[in-house]
Amino acid sequence: MTGFDWPALLRTGVKGLGLRPAEFWALTPAELRLMLGDAAPAPLRRARLDELLAAYPDGEGGGNDRGI
């Protein structure tokens, strides 16, 4: 269980916001929240950045997966 009511969110995006399904699925959660009028997401704090860096470390040598 994800905790999200996807059918209701999709219905809101398509019927309420006038989005096409592909446009809805291309949104990030932050973009959808903004479009629905929710408050802006909390800023990324250092502690959360450290958590993300630990969970998703750069590969050997840094850069991206194209070797750049």
Say if residue 4's pLDDT is above 90.
no
The band of 63, judged by pLDDT with boundaries at 50, 70 and 90, is: low
Look at the pTM and tell me if it is higher than 0.85. Answer: no
Between 62 and 37, residue with greater pLDDT: 37
User: CA torsion sign, 41 to 43 to 44 to 48?
Assistant: negative
Task: Give me the pLDDT at residue 6, please.
Answer: 85
User: CA torsion sign, 62 to 53 to 30 to 43?
Assistant: negative
Per-residue pLDDT reduced to its tens digit, 10-55: 999 999 999 999 999 999 988 888 888 876 667 789 998 999 899 9
